[in-house]
Amino acid sequence: TADVAGIEDMVGLLINTLPVRFRIREDEPLLAALARFQDEQAELMDHQHVGLAGIQRAAGLGALFDTTVVVENYPLDLESMRELAGGPRLTGVEGSDATHYTVNLIVLPGE
């Protein structure tokens, strides 16, 4: 991975959106396809610091994709958060977000 000067002092949501081509083979089981995809992505980790704008400039094209897949893989201990929060609690809270992409898939950790 790339060294980022001052990373130890940075606070905030640090994400990177990257275009990825993934072809599912007709005769390939889904789990095998996902394992292959994971392996292919692991090979690209040395380039994960390149931003979307830089990739679009290098490609010389317009929009590179119209679908997003978000994998929220950060640790989240809801019980600990409840204990630390104390005071009044909100329940039944929902949220929504809109993007200009045609398809948005969000993957959350769980069983």
Q: Give the global pTM.
A: 0.49
3-class SS string, the chain? CCCCCCHHHCCCCCCCCCCCCCCCCCCCCHHHHHHHHHHHHHCCHHHCCCCHHHHHHHHCCCCCCCEEEEECCCCCCHHHHHHHHCCCCCCCCCCCCCCCCCEEEEECCCC
Decide which of 62 and 76 is more confident: 62
- pLDDT tens digits, 11-43: 876 777 778 888 889 999 989 998 998 899 888
- pLDDT tens digits, 74-100: 776 777 777 777 777 777 877 777 788
Query: How confident is the model at residue 29, as a pLDDT?
Result: 93
Amino acid symbol at 83: E
Query: How confident is the model at residue 78, as a pLDDT?
Result: 73
Structural domain spans, the chain: 7-107
